[in-house]
Structures are given as C-alpha cells and as structure tokens.
Amino acid sequence: MFKKVLPLSGILSLRFLGLFLVLPVLSVYAMSLPGATPLLVGIIVGGYALTQTIFQVPFGTMSDKIGRKPTIFIGLVIFLIGSVVAAMSTDIYMLMIGRFLQGAGAIGSVVTAMISDLVEEEVRGKAMAMMGGTIALSFAFAMGVGPVVGAHYGVDTLFWITALLSLVAMVVLFTNVPTPPKIKHIYHASTKTSDILKDSNLLNMIIINGMQKGLMTMAFVIIPIILTDKLYTFNWAKADLWMAYVPAMILGLVAMGPAAVFGEKYNKPKQIFLISIVLFIASFLLMGLATSSVLFVVGVVSFFIGFNMMEPLVQSMISKFAKVHQKGAALGIANSFSYFMTFVGGTAAGMFLDFSNREVLGLSAAAIAFLWLLWTFKLQNPIKHSHLYIPEDHVDMQKLNALEHEHIAEWYINETEKLVVVKYVSASIGEDEIKAKILK
C-alpha cells in the first residue's frame, strides 16, 4: 500500500505545499498591490477555488475516460503556468489571473480517485489518512516557512517556489506512480450527477467537505490581516506570523492521528465531525471577539485542530459511499463544491472586513458553523463492508451478471489482476453463500 500511495500523496502534497506557502501572508501581500481592496483580496485568497469549482468535475470525468495519469499531468502544467503568472504579477488583477490559472489545474479529485483505484477498500481509510497526513505536514511546513520567506524575499519568491514544486511533481508522476488496474464494473450507463446527489450519504459528505473548506478560507483571510494590520490592536510583524501557525499545526497533527483511528477503525466518523465543528465554532468566536493576541492564537489553534481531525476522514468517506464507477465523478462533485465554498469563504471574509468588522465576521462564521452542526446530526456512519476476491476464471459470468442481493452492494472485475471483487455486508451474508451463487 505504501509504495502505491506515497508517490500520489507526494504529488498532491507538493501541489498543496505551493498553495499553502503563500496562504499565511497572501492577504497582507495582496493588500499592498495597486488597486487592492479587502474584497478583492478575499477574492484573491479564494480565487484559485473558483476555477477549481469549474474544472473539478470535468477533470474527474476526463480521468475516468482517458486515464488518471494523463489528466494529472495536464493539471500540473496548468498549475505551473498560473504560478509563474502570479510570481510576475505587478497589480492586483494580474495576481488574480494567476490564482485563477492555478485553480484551473484541478487534479485533487483525480489523485484521490486514483488512490481508490490502487488500494483495496479495507485499507483505503489508512491510505486516505496517509494522504491527509502528508498534506497536513506540507501545511505545517508552509505555515512556518511561508511567513519567513515571504517577509525576507518577497511573496513572488513563494510563487516561483510553487512553480518549481509543480515540476518536481511531474517527475514523481512519471517515475514513481504505478498505473492503476483496469476496472470493469457492472453498470453500463454513464454516471449521472443526479444519482450522486440523490444518495443522502454522499450529499451529506459533499456538504461537510464544502463547509470545512469554506471556513478554512475565511480563517486564512482574517488571521494574517487581523494580527498584522494597524487597524487592529495586535500589530504583529509579518515575520512573526509563524508563532500563530506553527503551534496550531503541531497540535493539529497530534489530534489527527487519534481522530483518524477512531473514525476509521471504530467506524465513528460522525462523532469526529461533530467534535470538529464545535471546535470551529469556538475558534471563530475567539478570532472575532478576543481582545488579546493569546486568546486570538487559541482560536487559531482550535481551528486547526478541528480542521486536521476532519481532513483524513472526508475523502475516505466519500470514496466508501460512492460505487466503483462513480468515484471519479463523486469526488469531482465533492471537490467542486468544496472549492466553490472556498471561493465563497474568502470573498465573504473580504467583504465583511471591507464593509463591517471582525466581530461581526467572527459571530457570523460561528453562527454558520452552528447551523452546520445541526445538519451534521443527520449523518449516518457508513455500513462496514467486506470484500470477496475470486479469480475470474473460477466465476460463471452468466451467474455473476444475474447476481442480486440486498446485502451485496456491488461487484466489479479487476481486469488487470483477473479478479472478480464482490462488496458485501459480512454481518448479513457469508462468503460461502456468495460463492454458491457465482462459482462455476
């Protein structure tokens, strides 16, 4: 599993590292450019997410048709071009174009779908946790390095580093990433968006994913501006922002491990999501109302603990609820919505700071998170499925095509490894009963 997942996690982490490096200081940097307003800065911080919203579903669907690796390469090339444009920007609008281009390389759902292709579902939770862990490590590294490099060498240097990281990711793609197996599923019609949205479990996870990312962008707009802008009371230097981000990410990483184990091993993701949302509510109340920098940083820490507890579980739950032929499209829709909410979150935060104040922003974000908490009580923990693997030449294909049972979720054929895979509820139907239905 590690050899399959680590290269893909590395590609995604390198891409996110490039995005994360600028996040701690981007809003402050953008405010210094000609033509900048808090609203435009909010759009810039979340701007990449608008084009991610547009291209996530096409990229996910394209990967189902032409293959994951070619699609990932196309996305990395577009991301590279956007990073170069952002690095060379001389005003707020050129920076905005660069951020939009960065987002157009929408490969997040494709990488996640490819991990789902390569890894058996029994260990997919660990694989997703590994992916989330590498992204979180990139996050932690970026939170410490980004403010220092940006303060001493300029934010344009961070964008050039981002461009270099995308080149490294391309090398990893073609030297270390295995080709996923060819899967033949039982469904003959193409995936419909309506089928995914009608699935209450998938819809709940799409909403959770979107809310998490939207509130994240709000946080990254307000944290650096409130801590450094003279309009507010804290008046930190830009180079000191690491003192808020690094402790938050370290404690977030510590919390992520137990949360992933409890959510995956003990099948309690709903409980982890509820705890995380409570932490979000507390964090925005503190960031909106705190009168001392210590309390404000406590709010930042609370946010990142909640975010990191949730992050490893979200993608895993979506891949578990989606059927094999829906993975690319379902992850594409989920990530498309999450990026749309990322754009909305950044824009809303900029608008609040432009036309209102941080207190109203903090209270509003906390109120939204409270409504999200109430919605999440509807979520159900996933049914635990087992998988039966049978050599293809042992199976009567006529019987397999006629296989229907209320406790069999789906079956498909791994044509690369010549295996028939049956996904079933082991508590309700046994292996012998399934074999009796399909063996020659």
Per-residue pLDDT tens digits for 426-437:
888 888 888 888
What pLDDT, on a 0 to 100 scale, did the predictor assign at position 189? 46
Supply φ then ψ for residue 425, to 5 degrees.
-90, 105
What pLDDT, on a 0 to 100 scale, did the predictor assign at position 423? 82
**Of 261, 285, 15, the residue nearest 139 (C-alpha):** 15
Domain ranges, ordered by start, for the chain: 2-376, 386-438
CA distance 42 to 4: 37
Three-state SS for 410? strand
What pLDDT, on a 0 to 100 scale, did the predictor assign at position 151? 78
Q: Which of 89-98, 180-189, 279-288 has the lowest mean pLDDT?
A: 180-189
Give CA separation, 355 vs 147, 358, 364, in Å: 27, 10, 14
Instruction: For the chain, state the CA radius of gyration.
Output: 22
Checking if the pLDDT of 182 tops 70, the result is no
User: What does DSSP assign to residue 275?
Assistant: H
What pLDDT, on a 0 to 100 scale, did the predictor assign at position 188? 41
Task: Quick: pLDDT tens for 36-45.
Answer: 888 898 889 8
Structural class in CATH, domain 2-376:
mainly alpha
Three-state SS for 418? coil
For the question of whether the overall pTM of this predicted structure is more than 0.85, the answer is no
Task: Quick: pLDDT tens for 70-127.
Answer: 889 999 999 999 999 999 998 999 999 999 999 888 887 788 777 777 776 556 656 7
**Of 120, 300, 321, the residue nearest 204 (C-alpha):** 321
Burial of 380: CB neighbours in 10 Å, binned 0-12, 13-18, 19+: exposed
| Strands of the 386-391 sheet, one edge to the other | 183-185, 408-414, 419-424, 386-391
What is the DSSP annotation of 361-388? HHHHHHHHHHHHHHHHTT--PPPP-EEE
**Of 9, 7, 1, the residue nearest 311 (C-alpha):** 9
Neighbours of 427 (CB within 10 A): 11
Q: Are 363 and 288 in contact (CB under 8 A)?
A: yes
CA distance 100 to 43: 10
Supply φ then ψ for residue 325, to 5 degrees.
-80, -5
Greater confidence (298 vs 17) lies with 298
The contacts of residue 300 (CB under 8 Å, 6+ apart) are 219, 223, 244, 245, 248, 283, 287
